[in-house]
Amino acid sequence: MLTADQATRLGAWRSEVGYTLAELSDLTGFSTAMLSRAERGQRVFSPAAKVRIARRLGVSVSDLFEVELSPEAELPKAVG
């Protein structure tokens, strides 16, 4: 289940910059229906799709989506 933050961050960003769903669709290559479902928390994008969307919009993934590390991901160890 998505949290409210996950479901609304993309929509909040879109509203903040003044894009319509159609404009966001043109920029990202995802359908308006898919983007709308994601904004309402009914669709979860894959990590690759999140990166693709962010790159096409010129923002970081964390600006648009909650970023979660998988349990298998290892964080770099501090040096020194």
Give 12's DSSP letter.
H
Residue 68 lies in a domain: no
Whole-number pLDDT of residue 54: 92
Alpha-carbon span 50 to 67, nearest angstrom: 10
Show the tokens assigned to 61.
């993934």
Q: pLDDT by residue (tens digit) across 17-69?
A: 999 999 999 999 999 999 999 998 888 888 899 999 999 999 999 888 887 66
Burial 16-48 (b: 16+ CB within 10 A, else e): eeebebeebbeebebeeebbeebbebebebeee
The pLDDT, as a whole number, for residue 78 is 63
Model confidence at 7, in pLDDT bands (50, 70, 90)?
low
pLDDT in tens, 70-79: 666 555 666 6
Please give the model's pTM, rounded to 2 decimal places. 0.73
In a domain, 77, yes or no: no
- The verdict on residue 35 lying in a domain is yes
The range of the structural domain enclosing residue 15 comes to: 4-61
